[in-house]
């Protein structure tokens, strides 16, 4: 007689933030199918923002629900809560930028302004104003991002990886003004993403062959009590799984998709990817390295050290020849991924604290930076070439000053969150990383100097070169301006008063093994 099916232990209360996002995404799909075009924009924007806000409220109300659930496949610990809250805040900021649809250089035309069958409605469709499917896609992607750092086994982590990736592949191809470049970015992202998923899945299969389980704590137990049987499957499996996650982090040599996708995707989508995907991927990497693979760290640690060093060096050097602002910020994100990787080799609670603070501080700054790039336009199109930014600070002092401040934050200048974040990432490596940690910090300091040159060059172009062409800052961009103000203020506050977030990151640096 067959054994009775065991009902899995599921804590729906702990999973409620993800459930809210998925429900909102499904409702958004129904709105896309049944709501008239003229009312679709307002309905989708309102639904998306309300869903993320409700999810954040659910997260706050369930802060006491910690532990493992769904038969040990999902770990809801303080690190998970910290990253989920951070991702939801990033999600609201990104949705605000997505919601502003720019109509030329002089302002915005709301979606609902087009009457059925009118020329304006047809023009709206051609110009991409009617791309309201981006909002449910963003909710699906955000749900996957919330699950990614919480996944406590490799199959759940793979499902989360695909749930966050597939919407991003589609969203990258939605820039209808730069159709060919956007579609090329989406295709490259999809193909390279498929390779990374294949690496991850093959590595998971090898680890299952080694440990007889895909559960991370069980893999750790098996490696700790290893008798040498199937030993040849262990390190290749670990390497392939880590490669699959490093692709999402944007670390060298798995970064080749980053500049092309960042440049070709719609700028609001680029902001969403740059902040949210990186935070979720670092959360998953922390769980892999500090829960599943912690007992074998001496075997793979040298590989992570090499990746961190290459990521900082190549990311910094490649910022110098860039002439496109979005590609500059893309290589900057590669360098910042390297800075955050420095903390990982310390294997101490302070390292987790440093990574959590870094991804939060960087996310606020990068969303604001891409939001400003989205507003700078010439002849009804984004002006992303550096020559087009000449004199922008003179024509639009507030916008120029905000972008200059964000550049200084990326460079790690004191009184910005970038400086505090680098201190938080580098100090654990110095204290607990040994000679390798000290060497990485030296490389990070030199890489910061190289990137600072390019950031300062942008500031010089904006304020000290003569204006050319008809470049303007689109206005009124009410929702985008809200995201920019939040990002700039938090970049300043986390540089001057970082203690509250550092304390929260410290409290969130304990992982539940399950």
Of the given ranges (46-60, 86-100, 168-182, 480-494), which has the lowest mean pLDDT? 168-182
Position 131 pLDDT exceeds 80: no
Phi first, then psi: give them for residue 54, nearest 5 degrees: -65, -40
What is the model's pTM?
Answer: 0.91
Query: Span 389-418, mean pLDDT?
Result: 90
Q: Say yes or no to pLDDT of 435 above 60.
A: yes
42 compared with 51, residue with greater pLDDT: 51
**Residue 58 clears pLDDT 90, i.e. is over it:** yes
Task: Using pLDDT thresholds of 50, 70 and 90, give the confidence band for residue 3.
Answer: low
- The confidence score (pLDDT) of residue 475 equals 61
Which range among 91-105, 116-130, 320-334 shows the weakest confidence by mean pLDDT?
116-130
Higher pLDDT, 282 or 437: 282
Q: Is 276 helix (H, G, I), strand (E, B) or coil?
A: helix
From CA 87, how far away is CA 360, in angstroms rounded?
9
155-203 pLDDT tens trace: 999 999 999 999 999 998 887 666 678 888 888 899 988 988 999 999 9
Say what percent of the chain tops pLDDT 70. Answer: 89
pLDDT band at 220 (very low <50, low <70, confident <90, very high): confident
Q: How confident is the model at residue 444 (pLDDT cuts 50, 70, 90)?
A: very high
Residue 457 above 90 pLDDT? yes
Rounded to the nearest integer, the mean pLDDT of the chain is: 86
Q: What confidence category does residue 392 fall into, taking pLDDT thresholds of 50, 70 and 90?
A: confident
Q: What angle do CA 133, 135, 139 make, to 5 degrees?
A: 125
pLDDT surpassing 70 at residue 413: yes
- From residue 196, alpha-carbon distances to 188, 216, 301, 302 in Å are 12, 20, 20, 21
Q: How far apart are CA 329 and CA 335, in angstroms?
A: 10
**Do residues 167 and 140 lie in contact, with contact meaning Cβ atoms separated by under 8 Å?**
yes
pLDDT in the model for residue 224: 73
Residue 266: pLDDT over 70? yes
What is the pLDDT at residue 213?
A: 87
- Categorize the per-residue pLDDT at 125 as very low, low, confident or very high, splitting at 50, 70 and 90: very low
pLDDT of residue 5: 58
- The answer on pLDDT for 211 being more than 90 is no
Q: Which of 55-69, 153-167, 368-382, 466-480 has the highest mean pLDDT?
A: 153-167
Tell me how far CA of residue 40 lies from CA of 37, 121, 472, in angstroms. 5, 12, 29
C-alpha distances (whole Å) from 182 to each of 128, 265, 317 are 13, 5, 26
Most confident of 262-266, 332-336, 394-398: 332-336
Please give the Cα distance from 396 to 236 (Å, whole number): 53
Instruction: Report CA-CA distances (Å) from 34 to 30, 194, 491.
Output: 6, 33, 41
User: Residue 471 pLDDT more than 70?
Assistant: no
Q: 13-22, 62-71, 330-339, 377-386: which range is least confident on average?
A: 377-386
Confidence tier at 130 by pLDDT (50, 70, 90): very low
Mean pLDDT of 422-438: 90
Distance (Å) of CA 150 to CA 18, 83, 443, 504: 11, 9, 32, 18
Which runs of E-coded beta strand occur in 243-397? Answer: 376-378, 381-382
Three-state DSSP state, 11: coil
pLDDT band per the 50, 70, 90 thresholds, residue 25: very high
Report pLDDT for 57.
Answer: 95
Region of poorest pLDDT, from 275-289, 301-315, 368-382: 368-382
């Amino acid at each position: 007689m067959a054994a009775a099916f065991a009902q899995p232990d599921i804590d729906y209360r702990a999973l409620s933030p993800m459930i809210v996002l998925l429900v909102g995404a499904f409702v958004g799909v129904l709105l896309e199918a049944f709501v008239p075009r003229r009312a679709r924009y307002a309905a989708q924007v309102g639904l998306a923002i309300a869903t993320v806000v409700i999810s954040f409220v659910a997260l706050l109300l369930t802060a006491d629900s910690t532990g493992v659930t769904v038969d040990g496949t999902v770990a809801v610990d303080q690190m998970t809560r910290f990253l989920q809250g951070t991702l939801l805040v990033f999600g609201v900021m990104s949705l605000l930028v997505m919601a502003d649809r720019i109509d030329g250089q002089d302002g915005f035309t709301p979606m609902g302004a087009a009457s059925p069958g009118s020329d304006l409605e047809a023009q709206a469709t051609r110009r991409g104003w009617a791309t309201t499917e981006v909002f449910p896609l963003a909710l699906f992607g955000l749900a996957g991002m919330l699950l990614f750092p919480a996944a406590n086994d490799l199959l759940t982590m793979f499902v989360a990886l695909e749930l966050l990736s597939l919407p991003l592949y589609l969203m990258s191809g939605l820039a209808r003004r730069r159709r060919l470049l956007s579609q090329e970015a989406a295709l490259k992202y999809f193909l390279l993403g498929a390779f990374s998923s294949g690496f991850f899945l093959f590595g998971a299969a090898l680890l299952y062959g080694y440990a007889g389980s895909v559960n991370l704590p069980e893999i750790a137990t098996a490696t700790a009590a290893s008798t040498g049987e199937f030993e040849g499957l262990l390190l290749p499996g670990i390497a392939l799984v880590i490669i699959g996650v490093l692709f999402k982090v944007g670390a060298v040599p798995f970064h080749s998709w980053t500049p092309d996708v960042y440049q070709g995707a719609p700028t609001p989508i680029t902001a969403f990817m740059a902040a949210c995907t990186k935070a979720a991927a670092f959360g998953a990497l922390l769980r892999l390295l500090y829960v599943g693979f912690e007992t074998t760290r001496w075997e793979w640690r040298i590989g992570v050290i090499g990746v961190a060093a290459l990521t900082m060096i190549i990311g910094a050097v490649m910022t110098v020849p860039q002439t496109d602002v979005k590609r500059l910020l893309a290589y900057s994100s590669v360098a910042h991924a390297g800075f955050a990787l420095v903390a990982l080799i310390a294997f101490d609670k302070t390292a987790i604290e440093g990574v959590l603070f870094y991804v939060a501080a960087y996310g606020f700054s990068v969303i604001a930076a891409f939001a400003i790039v989205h507003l700078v336009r010439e002849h009804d199109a984004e002006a992303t070439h550096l020559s087009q930014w000449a004199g922008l600070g003179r024509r639009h002092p507030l916008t120029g000053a905000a972008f200059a401040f964000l550049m200084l934050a990326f460079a790690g200048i004191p009184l910005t969150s970038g400086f505090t974040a680098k201190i938080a990432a580098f100090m654990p490596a110095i204290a607990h990383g040994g000679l390798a940690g000290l060497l990485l910090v030296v490389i990070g300091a030199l890489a910061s100097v190289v990137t600072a040159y390019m950031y300062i060059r942008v500031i010089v172009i904006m304020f000290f070169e003569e204006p050319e062409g008809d470049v303007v800052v689109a206005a009124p961009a009410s929702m985008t301006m809200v995201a920019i103000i939040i990002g700039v203020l938090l970049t300043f506050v986390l540089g001057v008063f970082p203690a509250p977030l550092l304390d929260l990151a410290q409290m969130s640096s304990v992982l539940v093994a399950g």
